[in-house]
Amino acid sequence: MKLEGKNAVLEALKSDVKINKVLLIKDIKDNFQQKVITILKEKSIPYYYVEKEILDKESETSHHQNIIGFMSDYQYATVEDMLFLANEKNEDVFLVILDGIEDPHNLGSIIRTAECAGVHGVIIPKNNAAKVNETVIRTSAGSVNHMLVAQVTNINQTIRDLKQKNVFCYALEANGESIYKCNLKGHIALILGSEGFGVSKLTKELCDQIISLPMFGKINSLNASVAGAIGIYEAVKQRKI
């Protein structure tokens, strides 16, 4: 898997991600490149200077910003890892569950928001949904390297398991209670639906409550990552501020 762009590579270097090698553009010795080289030397990670044409050829996103890192496939966490992290930090569980997000840009954006907000983990389905790839890593500005992401076979069974652990599950969906009237404290999981269909019917039925963002315009929906960001930060407001 490739890490493309300055933030993606730098954040990976700050984390425990194993980077196999890094390609840097020749003839540019700016402050960023010198900073990266210092870290690469400290970690004994091989790096090579190449022509821009080589980076263009290797790039999967067409936005390499003159640097590409190579790493092993992304290592997914488990839901138990997330619960352990919350307990270790002595915090109420805060999870985000994605019910079929297909656009890797949306997935990367949601992961970035979740990491900034202190969410303990993002849960995605193994099938029919975006996976962590080069686009997700870049869109997340490298925050995917600091966020636990779990792939599960069955989202609905995961929700059932979480409810047995006293995690209150909210579906962020139309025609529910206003999010601004809901109590988002305690152990919670926020479920976000797919771009085209929202949260699936069975998943909504399993959730403890359906909550909604009030709409006052002529368009009755928001982009999935935007809606997710608003929902996540309303929870932050109630839980931490």
Token digits of residue 38 = 């210092």
**3.40.1280.10, 3.30.1440.10, 3.40.640.10, 3.90.1010.10: which CATH number matches 79-240?**
3.40.1280.10
d(C-alpha 90, C-alpha 184), whole Å: 17
Confidence band, pLDDT 50/70/90 cuts, at residue 156: very high
Q: Where in the chain is the domain with CATH 3.30.1330.30?
A: 2-71
Q: Classify residue 181 as exposed, middle or buried by CB count within 10 Å of its CB (0-12, 13-18, 19+).
A: exposed
Quick one: fold of 2-71? 60s Ribosomal Protein L30; Chain: A; (3.30.1330)
Predicted pLDDT of residue 194: 92
Cα 233 to its chain centre, rounded Å, is: 15
Q: Where in the chain is the domain with CATH 3.40.1280.10?
A: 79-240
Q: What angle, rounded to 10 degrees, do the helices at 104-117 and 224-240 form?
A: 10
Confidence band, pLDDT 50/70/90 cuts, at residue 220: confident
Count Cβ neighbours within 10 Å for each residue of 146-156 and write b for 16 or more, e otherwise: bbbbbbbeebb
Please state, for a pLDDT cut of 70, what percent of the chain lies above it: 100
Confidence band, pLDDT 50/70/90 cuts, at residue 219: confident
